[in-house]
Amino acid sequence: MNIYACIKQVPDTEASILIKDGRSINEAAIKWIVSPHDEYAIEEALKLKEKIPGSTLTAVCLGPERVQNALRTALAMGADRAVHVESSVALDSQNTARALAQVIRADKEFGVIFMGKQAIDDDAYQLHILLAEELAIPVATNVMAFVFDGGKVRVEREIDEGAREVIEMAVPCVVAAAKGLNTPRYASMMGIMKAKKIEIKKTPLAETGVDEAQNKVRLLKLASPAEKPQGRIIAGEAADAVCELVRLLREEAKVI
């Protein structure tokens, strides 16, 4: 089976994000990582590859030159191939899905496509669904358990109040991984050295038939969230403190 893992490079969760020109972020001091949910996707794709003899895993990432570091991470973990869809422009989720679909569709024998359920930068939570729509294949989101048996995929996905729903899908299909699906492996030193030697295939965005002008969602402005005011401690006996708290909520905060 030709297995795919679609990944995204995002700022580290501990990065300090500074707005530049009101429409972009200052990337100068940012450390870039593979989006955490995508790490679960890569791990599950590797487990499936190991289960099916002769299978291959291809990692795909769209973005500027720097995303090759994310692809090297996937290769170091155990992916066999990597495809960089070269794009220096910002695409909305629909056009990103179209570009990724063009790359995957070129492989007539593609099987299961793994992705994170969402990226931690925009939290859009829709790319996997749009990709499945473009490829006209089934999709399961928020997947917490995965089984491949008898040529079919069976997953468990978390729904309201911790309940789980079981879905069976034919292959090809898209599986959107959630935290708890597995424990992603660390890349070995041998894997890191091997990854450096693997050639990453580059696909210009123009070859996918997608461009920024087709975006339906456009970025108008970026702004940092307002700073939260300092908390206040009300001293005194409990009964007196409660009365003072109620007064402040009514007269100053005006929430009651």
Q: What is the CATH number of the domain that holds 55?
A: 3.40.50.620
Q: What is the pLDDT of residue 181?
A: 95
Name the residue range of residue 253's domain.
226-256
Instruction: Summarize pLDDT for 25-77 with one digit per residue, the tens.
Output: 888 888 999 999 999 999 999 999 999 999 999 999 999 999 999 999 999 99
- Can the peptide bond before residue 64 be classed as cis, meaning omega within 30 degrees of 0? no
pTM (2 decimals)?
0.86
* β-pairing verdict for 152-158 and 139-149: antiparallel
Domain co-membership, 13 together with 132: yes
Residues 172 and 120 grouped into a single domain: yes
In a domain, 22, yes or no: yes
Same domain for 65 and 7, yes or no, is: yes
Provide the pLDDT confidence category of residue 93 given band limits of 50, 70 and 90.
very high
- pLDDT at position 219 over 90: no
Please indicate, yes or no, whether residues 74 and 8 belong to a single structural domain of this protein.
Answer: yes
131 CA to centre of own chain: 13
* Residue 131 and residue 251 share a domain: no
Please compute the mean of the pLDDT values over residues 93-104 and round it to a whole number. Answer: 96
222 pLDDT exceeds 90? no
CA-based R_g, the chain, Å: 22
| 240 and 123 within one domain | no
- Is there a single domain that holds both residue 203 and residue 230? no
Do residue 146 and residue 77 come from a single domain?
Answer: yes
Same-domain check for residues 207 and 253: no
Count of domains forming the chain: 2
Specify if 221 maps to a domain.
Answer: no
pLDDT band at 175 (very low <50, low <70, confident <90, very high): very high
For residues 184 and 236, membership in a common domain is answered with no
Assess whether pLDDT exceeds 90 at residue 94.
yes
* Cα distance between residue 67 and residue 180, in whole Å: 25
Distances (CA, A) of 245 to 128, 231, 233, 236, 250: 47, 12, 10, 11, 9
Contact between 170 and 138 (Cβ < 8 Å): yes
